[in-house]
Structure 1
Amino acid sequence: MRKRILLLEDEQAIADTLLYALQSEGFEVRHVALARQALEAFQDNPPDLAILDVGLPDGNGFEVCRTMRRTSELPIVFLTARSEEIDRVLGLELGADDYVVKPFSPREVCARVRAILRRSAAAMSTAPFPVLTTAAEASDGLILDEAAQRFRVGNALLPLTRYEYLLLATLMRRPERIFSRTELMDLVWGDAPHTADRTVDAHVKLLRAKLREHGVKTEVIQTHRHMGYSLRLAG
């Protein structure tokens, strides 16, 4: 089955060049020029990888990435004319897998896409699905069941509110990665834009209490001063 690529690029000449290169490599490509079209395409028929331009007439690729990351871990590559380090860092911190600065070689973009898809396929083939675990499971038995959208400690369910579950699941999907409060607000409370960022701290406190109460002795959620939070791997 051919891999599906979603290409968000508003400059037609660049889009045509990439379309030709990607289709020549055997990819099935859906091209859109607006952020809203990209999100509609993402919902209608989720791709295997998304290539997102940053500067768009109706928004930017960073916001599209934030929205996609609320529900999906699909590989994402940014295309942009911005070469400043802060933009590259922001893109990668949002969860992008790669960042290509214009002008670029279409053949290089294809090579990067193939490499990312290979890594993604390898990770999926070795990961237990639909259950994810952390190394803490060996001592504390904390298990994330993605299909049922719940956590277990051993054989017991961990009673969590919706936002507690989303927060812990976000951290657990990328153990050891430090998420800033702003990132967590975007990923967990995206449907509640007027929520204060101190909500993150309050939910972390509640989660730690519930984890201890249900036998998770390890301090699983780590605080990184002036940076954010991460989920700690045991060992």
Structure 2
Amino acid sequence: MAEKILIVEDELTLQETLAYNLKKQGYLVESAGDGPSAIVKAKQYQPDLIMLDIMLPGMDGFEVCRILRKDMLVPILMLTARDDEIDRVVGLEVGADDYLTKPFSMRELIARIKALLRRAKIMQEIHPADAQDRKVYKFDNLVIDENRREVMLNGKPLNLKPKEYELLLFLGQHQGQVLSRETILEKVWGWDYFGDSRTVDVHIRWLREKIEEDPAKPKRIITSRSAGYRFEG
């Protein structure tokens, strides 16, 4: 069955161009031109991927992403007109999976979409028979339940974004090992991810703010100078 993509873009010419090219690739496409209608269509249409412009009338893309992330795990590719690191960091912080700066080539866009959909499919294709092979990782007052995709700290659930959870799980699975940023990027984001290693640093910082007693003096996630990170548990 063809995968569904929701395009959220207020510039009509670009919206129609994107829709035309994605349909040529065999995708089913719906479009929205402002923030509020994007939220409504996303919940009604249940797309497999959302392309989300940052600058939107009614509500910007950051807020749309933040709202959708509360109950949807669909991959979100954010579009920005500026090559601004702040936009990229904020986009990741509110739950976006990737970002693309305008103007971009259709070839690069299609490659990003395919990579995001491929990773999402891998995550979804976890068979029930595998449940008994998954584990619960306990590190004192921190518990990672791989089966439930849940993290508990001091007996209370932590509200982690999908990539924060996947990163913490990967670190927990390799307790005591020094992991390079490149290794983490490949294993957590995928070898075909187009971002750079700064993405890892940003997510490590967010995790520290949630699981460390003093994020400025971390005892769980240790920086190994010039090498990467080591999870002590």
TM-score range, shorter chain: 0.5 to 0.7
Residue type at the aligned position of 1:222: E
Q: How does 1:64-213 map to 2 (within 5 A)?
A: 64-126=64-126, 136=137, 143=145, 146=148, 164-165=156-157, 167=159, 172=165, 174-175=167-168, 177-178=203-204, 180=206
Give the AA of the match of 2:212: Q
Q: C-alpha offsets along residues 133-166 of structure 1, whole Å, 9 cap, x if unaligned? A: 66616999853665xx9889xxxxx997xxx436
**Would the alpha carbon gap of residues 226 and 62 (structure 1) be closer, same or farther in structure 2, given more than 3 Å must change?**
farther
Aligned partner of 1:217 in structure 2 is none
- Among residues 215, 223, 227, which one is paired with 1:225 in the alignment? 215
Report if the CA contact (8 A) 2:5-2:27 is conserved.
Answer: yes
Distance 1:83 1:2, change over 3 A: same
Instruction: Name the counterpart of 1:10.
Output: 10
SS in 2 for 1:20: helix
Aligned to 1:193: none
**Which deviates more from structure 2 when the two are superposed, residues 126-135 or residues 104-113?**
126-135
Higher-RCO chain (CA-CA 8 Å, sequence separation at least 6): 1
Tell me: CA distance 1:74–1:234, structure 2 relative to 1, closer, same or farther (3 Å).
farther
Gapped runs of 5+ residues in structure 1?
A: 153-157, 182-200, 205-220
State the AA in 2 paired with 1:30: E
Q: Which residue of 2 aligns with 1:42?
A: 42
Could you tell me which amino acid in structure 1 is paired with residue 79 of structure 2? L
Distance 1:15 1:65 in 2: 18
**% same residue:** 35
Computed over aligned residues only, the root mean square deviation of the Cα atoms, in angstroms, reads 4.1
TM-score, structure 1 as length reference: 0.63
> In structure 2, what residue type is equivalent to 1:125?
E
Amino acid at match of 2:18: L
Q: Could you tell me whether the CA contact under 8 Å between 1:179 and 1:227 is conserved in 2?
A: no
Q: How many residues align?
A: 188
**TM-score normalised to structure 2 length:** 0.64
- Please give the alpha-carbon distance, in whole angstroms, between the structure 2 residues aligned to 1:84 and 1:168: 25
Q: 1:222 to 1:26 in 2, by over 3 A?
A: same
Distance 1:119 1:173, change over 3 A: closer
Q: Is this contact kept in 1: 2:144–2:150, CA < 8 A? A: no
Q: Write the mapping of 1:15-30 to structure 2, written as runs, cut at 5 A.
A: 15-30=15-30
Per-residue deviation, 1:225: 1.7
Q: In the superposition, relative to structure 1, how do residues 150 and 60 fare at CA in structure 2: closer, same or farther (>3 Å)?
A: closer
Distance 1:51 1:87 in 2: 15
1:59 counterpart SS class? coil
Distance 1:130-1:40 versus aligned 2 partners, 3 A rule: farther
CA contact (8 A) 2:135 2:147 kept: no
- Counterpart of 2:124 in 1: which secondary structure? helix
User: Any unmatched runs of 5+ in structure 2?
Assistant: 172-202, 222-229
SS in 2 for 1:55: coil
